[in-house]
Structure 1
Amino acid sequence: MLKLNVSKLSLLLLVTFAISACSDQTQSDIRPAQDIHVDTLSLSHTSLRLNTELPGRITAFNEAEVRPQITGIVKSRLYKQGSYVNEGDVLFQIDPTTYQSTVNSAQAELKKALASEQSTKKAYLRYQALMKKSLTSQELLDDAESNYLQAQAEVAIRQAELDYANIELSYTQIKAPISGYAGFSQVSEGSLLTSGQSNYLTTIIQTNNVYVDMQQSSVSLYKLRQEFTNVRGTHPTIPVTITLEDGTLYQHTGKLEFADTRADNSTGSVTLRAIIPNPDNSLLAGMYVRASISMPEQRDYLVVPQSVVVRSQSGLPSVFIVDQDNKIIKKSVELGSEVGNGWVVKTGLNVGDNVVVNNLNKLKNNQMVVVDSQAEQSGDTATADAHSISQG
């Protein structure tokens, strides 16, 4: 019986020692949660003159496709390809032999008709004189008058035929319809041309000014017009600058010429057209550029660094701010234009909000943090003439 009690006592002591050891180990594994340290940026207004930037394509100010108006063989090309031509300059010469012959024939027919007119006129005048002396009948006078009128009509017909023949003869000289730079010739000497053919002979492009065609949403266009109307009046001039594909800023500033009268049914976008000076002919039709429409004046905006913006799985942006109690508050924001390395915040934040700038992946809403430093935002966050994010 004594041996049994000793065994129970030994077992009880062993269990107690094991529990005590486990308890000590558990206590050693539990450590106090570490505080999260953050830095903040106190928001203030930044004065900016924003731009709306859109992709655009250069279009010729005026372009003409030169086509023949008669059928014939090309005798010669009289312009230098790629050179500047004036309106009315002869570009191609069609063999005029057949058309000159038609003119000669029409001239002969006209002379014949004129001779007949003179003869019938004299007869008519004689019968008028005889009628006054009652030496002829009214019937003969009427016949003479009728012959004279028919001869006049014949002269008009022959004159019209001669005019038409001269017009066709003039078409043997294919002239420049506008002034500008003539392109490559699509035909050579000896080629047969036909009246009304679909293939053009060459093109002429006016490049002193060029168009820039852009796409803009109808809502954004309405807001843009309101911005300028409120500042400059009913018919404001909206300046437009362009940037070339390599990032070079084009030296001449243009203006917004007009917007299409209808929005696209599928996209709701409207085509805008700006006119840009091109005195050096450096802008070519078909080039792609970035067009920038500057707002009419500088205004105050809230700008946050792009690095402080976090996005949800659906892409919605938000930022963390710290309140007066050092508690984290996650705020959804609506972002506007991209300015340098920052975003313009349309809604969601206010002046004086302390935006967290680091340790964003460790933060949760309503979490307590330790603020290590608090910086004041300066105007250097963005430039005074900032570009907006590209649209389209």
Structure 2
Amino acid sequence: MTSRTGRGILSAAILASALTLTACGSAEEADKEGGRGARGPAQVGFVTVQTTSVPVTVDLAGRVTAYQMSEVRPQVAGVIRRRFFTEGTIVRAGQTLYEIDPRVYRAAANEAQANLNSARANAEATRIRADRFRPLAEIEAVSAQDYTDAAAQANQAAAAVEQSRAQLETARVNLSFTRVPAPITGRIGRSLFTEGALVTVGQADPLTVIQRLDPIFVDIQQSSADLLALRRSLATGGVVPASAAVRLTLEDGSDYGQTGTVQFAEAMVDPATGTVTLRARFPNPQGILLPGMFVRAGFAQAIDQRAILVPQPALQRQPTGEASVFVVGPNNTAVRRQVVADRTQGGNWVVTRGLNPGDRVIVQGTANLRPGAQIRPVPASAPQRIAPPPAEGNGEGGAGSGNGAAAKAN
């Protein structure tokens, strides 16, 4: 009884092993027939790149500066009697802003006028005397020395007239300085002195400040290293200067709306910051930009005529920061190519080195791609047709159709 049981167990084990081998063989055959065992090269999408002209754009910090600014200061000493403007309004060039007590300066002008009249009278008398001595000296009725002295006195009197005239002009100018005018047209600030305040020539504080805000300047700071690299690029060729408009981003992140142009670049580097100042001019009709505001300025400094645009999904970054892309190599193999791409434009990386016109850059199917792998390249975003597998002759193909669908590219 025991021996029969042992032989039964052995027979059952042999039968189970045979069934397992049969099942494995059937599964392998099913995989081959269903296409899972040998799917072939991976399909990837590529784009053919060409050189194009790409602006070399920069985004730099800037500070708003008034187009014109004038500190109104007194040119004579005295007490302010009246103020003729409203703080914060627009004033015109030549408009009277303050009046300084003019009485002392008017008296000085009157005195100078009197001195001039006296000098003129004396000059007239000495001239007549010299004219009378001339014929008398010729007939030796008077000595030649007397005539010479009379002529010298006449010349001195004439010089005194000119001196008095200059003193009168000075007195009149000082009198005119008692009415303080606006040097420029612009928006005037608060008055730092009121009526009754004593002002002097050369004082530290101005009476007020006038600023012209339309148009307005923005001083942009760029590092000298970046500017040097740009000039080298312009010298080597392939990069040409650009005169693109400058756009501003305000402190709240909004776009200013108006565009400006770069006027000039300073001819010196700030030793404290290592930057060069670029000045841009902007219209400011609404007065949004105010002196002292910080802004971001974006503009194109040059046009790179040999750049290549590559879609961003195609570029990969190594842990070291190096950039690379996969290109379609000989015999449809994936080749990794090191590139230089330090900026973007829209949805593309701007590649300046590492690619050649006509290269086929892989932009789709790069997730598990390895260098040297066999690939089946198709144009990027090519439409695909999903076709069912061929029907099996035993009539049971319907049951296995869910595992055998194959995608075929047009």
- Asked if residue 171 in structure 1 is aligned to residue 145 in structure 2, the reply is no
Matches within 5 A, 1:62-141: 62-141=68-147
Shift of 1:290: 1.9
Q: Check conservation: 1:75, 1:95, Cα contact below 8 A.
A: yes
What is the number of equivalent residue pairs in this alignment? 341
Kindly provide the CA deviation profile for residues 174-193 of structure 1, in whole angstroms up to 9, marking residues without a partner as x. 11222222222222212221
Shift of 1:95: 1.3
Farther-moved stretch of structure 1 (122-131 vs 195-204)? 122-131
Farther-moved stretch of structure 1 (308-317 vs 59-68)? 308-317
Structure 1 residues 182 and 102, CA gap change in structure 2 (3 angstroms)? same
CA distance in 2, matches of 1:131, 1:111: 30
TM-score normalized by structure 2? 0.69
Shift of 1:272: 2.1
Computed over aligned residues only, the root mean square deviation of the Cα atoms, in angstroms, reads 3.8
Shift of 1:358: 5.5
Structure 1 residues 333 and 77, CA gap change in structure 2 (3 angstroms)? same
Kindly provide the CA deviation profile for residues 355-375 of structure 1, in whole angstroms up to 9, marking residues without a partner as x. 254664x55544x37669751
Shift of 1:215: 3.2
CA distance in 1, matches of 2:190, 2:327: 64
What one-letter code is carried by the residue in structure 1 that aligns with 2:118?
A: K
Matches within 5 A, 1:1-392: 39-45=44-50, 50=55, 52-55=57-60, 56-216=62-222, 217-222=226-231, 238-245=243-250, 246-248=253-255, 250-251=257-258, 253-264=259-270, 269-287=275-293, 288-293=295-300, 301-321=307-327, 323=329, 327-350=333-356, 351-357=358-364, 360=367, 365-366=371-372, 368=373, 375=380
SS at match of 1:142: helix
Structure 1 residues 322 and 282, CA gap change in structure 2 (3 angstroms)? same
Farther-moved stretch of structure 1 (217-226 vs 57-66)? 217-226
What one-letter code is carried by the residue in structure 2 that aligns with 1:143?
A: D
Structure 1 residues 179 and 223, CA gap change in structure 2 (3 angstroms)? farther
Structure 1 residues 74 and 36, CA gap change in structure 2 (3 angstroms)? farther
Shift of 1:133: 4.5
Structure 1 residues 98 and 45, CA gap change in structure 2 (3 angstroms)? same
CA distance in 2, matches of 1:149, 1:357: 102
Kindly provide the CA deviation profile for residues 328-347 of structure 1, in whole angstroms up to 9, marking residues without a partner as x. 43322111431123211112
CA distance in 2, matches of 1:227, 1:83: 52
SS at match of 1:346: strand
Q: Check conservation: 1:332, 1:348, Cα contact below 8 A.
A: yes
Structure 1 residues 76 and 162, CA gap change in structure 2 (3 angstroms)? same
CA distance in 2, matches of 1:237, 1:354: 29
Structure 1 residues 46 and 124, CA gap change in structure 2 (3 angstroms)? same
Structure 1 residues 229 and 212, CA gap change in structure 2 (3 angstroms)? farther
Shift of 1:195: 0.8
Shift of 1:228: 11
Kindly provide the CA deviation profile for residues 268-313 of structure 1, in whole angstroms up to 9, marking residues without a partner as x. 64322233344454433333242323756x9675323334433233
Kindly provide the CA deviation profile for residues 215-263 of structure 1, in whole angstroms up to 9, marking residues without a partner as x. 34223542686799987xxxx8824232332433534x44332222234
CA distance in 1, matches of 2:186, 2:125: 53
CA distance in 2, matches of 1:36, 1:268: 54
CA distance in 2, matches of 1:38, 1:86: 74
SS at match of 1:215: strand
CA distance in 2, matches of 1:222, 1:308: 31
CA distance in 2, matches of 1:66, 1:275: 25
CA distance in 1, matches of 2:340, 2:118: 88
Shift of 1:74: 1.6
Q: Check conservation: 1:124, 1:141, Cα contact below 8 A.
A: yes
Q: Once the two structures are aligned, what percentage of the paired residues are identical?
A: 32
SS at match of 1:58: strand
Structure 1 residues 168 and 95, CA gap change in structure 2 (3 angstroms)? same
CA distance in 2, matches of 1:96, 1:184: 24
Structure 1 residues 153 and 64, CA gap change in structure 2 (3 angstroms)? same
What one-letter code is carried by the residue in structure 2 that aligns with 1:344?
A: V
Q: Check conservation: 1:88, 1:178, Cα contact below 8 A.
A: yes
Shift of 1:144: 1.6
CA distance in 2, matches of 1:209, 1:301: 36
CA distance in 1, matches of 2:108, 2:138: 45
What one-letter code is carried by the residue in structure 2 that aligns with 1:84?
A: I
TM-score normalized by structure 1? 0.72
CA distance in 2, matches of 1:105, 1:45: 86
